[in-house]
Structure 1
Amino acid sequence: MIKNKHDGDSKEIPIQERTFISPTNGELTLPQVIEAIVQFVDGDHQSRYKVVIGTDSQAKRINGDAEIDFVLAIVVHRIGKGGRYYWSKERQKRKYVLRDKIYRETAFSLELAEYLVPQLRAVLPAGRYDLEIHVDVGTVGPTREMIKEVVGMVTGSGYTAKTKPESFGASVVADKHT
């Protein structure tokens, strides 16, 4: 479950009940996102696809209280022909140190993948798309010391990890909505 701010309180809700926003389709439930992904992939059987999951966060102070916004992104890239994306935002009332924030971002992405992948595999052949988890760490900056740990979390869960500058799902798409 992912904690999600709902009616002013922080509650745990099942991931399949999260609301995602699509610039193309508007507000969608996660099952509707899966349906939209399937329709998009079925729209061009000749193309290769990449399904990307990434999370970014932004700490802020609101009325003097530390808060952090986590944005989860799902990107479906039709290689060489554009793509679609879906994002969901959650606000937590707490302060994170950098290491914990990066771990939480990665955990959110893995949690989303654990729900999304079986749902996609049930309706799309695995050979139609590659799946990647994009993490917001890179060889430049304060996160460089965490690359092995975070990539290990992702690969240990059976997924392919991408770091900056290749992690556009986290560092560009999710970042855009933090």
Structure 2
Amino acid sequence: METQREKWQNLKGNVFSKPIVELVEDTIICEKENGNEIRVCIGSDSHVYGDFISYATAIVFVRKRKGAFAFVRKDKVLQNISIKERMLNEVNRSVEIAYLISPVLEKYGIEMEVHADINTDSEFKSNTALKDAMGYILGMGYTFKAKPFAFASTNCADLMV
């Protein structure tokens, strides 16, 4: 069930009124009709602004040898939480969307990855959430990617936060 915060837009800022499952299916159909082979990558990012945390979740459609485009959802939450909890909130937002659109992706045989904006280098604070995030994503049956391979979160979602 989609909520009020389910306003999806592209990177240009165009807002879509369709539910995300419908938007994803329409996109897949269009891309297949155009002869494009695609895969989907989902990632979230967040930034802290005073007492607020701004989140963005991106669904990136990667065309084989033909570029990519994305749909993004943004929202703001009044929270004061640890870096680990914030990283896990990002992962949860990505998994929530992956779970929602999985049936459509399976129907059309589309490969999916879930990207986590978590550094694999233990020198970085976000690394405290790496094992939990990886376990959650892999436990849900999804392909896991972390930095530096997590472009859906570190680039696309980051652009919109």
Please indicate, yes or no, whether the TM-score normalized by the shorter chain is above 0.5: yes
- 1:137 is aligned to 2:118: yes
Q: Are 2:39 and 1:58 aligned?
A: no
Q: Alignment identity in percent?
A: 24
Amino acid of the residue matched to residue 27 of structure 2? I
Deviation at 1:158, TM superposition (A): 0.5
2:97 maps to amino acid: L
Q: Which has the larger radius of gyration?
A: 1
1:161 and 1:24, CA in 2 relative to 1: closer, same or farther beyond 3 A?
same
| Correspondence list, 1:1-178, <5 A | 14=2, 18-23=6-11, 26-28=14-16, 29=18, 30-45=20-35, 47-61=36-50, 66-122=51-107, 124=108, 126=109, 129-140=110-121, 141-178=124-161
In 1, the alpha carbon distance for the partners of 2:41 and 2:4 equals 18
> CA 1:52/1:115 → structure 2, altered by over 3 Å: closer, same or farther?
same
CA-atom RMSD, angstroms?
2.1
Give the distance between the partners of 1:132 and 1:31, measured in 2 at CA.
17
Distance 1:143 1:23 in 2: 26
Decide whether the 8 Å contact of 1:71 with 1:87 is kept in 2.
yes
Runs of 4 or more above 3 Å deviation: none
1:164 aligned counterpart, secondary structure:
coil
Higher relative contact order (CA 8 A, sep 6+): 2
Higher normalized strand content (fraction of residues): 1
**What are structure 2's unaligned runs of at least 5 residues?**
none
**Alignment gaps of 5+ in structure 1:** 2-13
- Is the CA contact (8 Å cut-off) linking 1:20 and 1:33 kept in structure 2? no
- Provide the C-alpha distance between the structure 2 equivalents of 1:37 and 1:25, rounded to a whole number of angstroms: 17
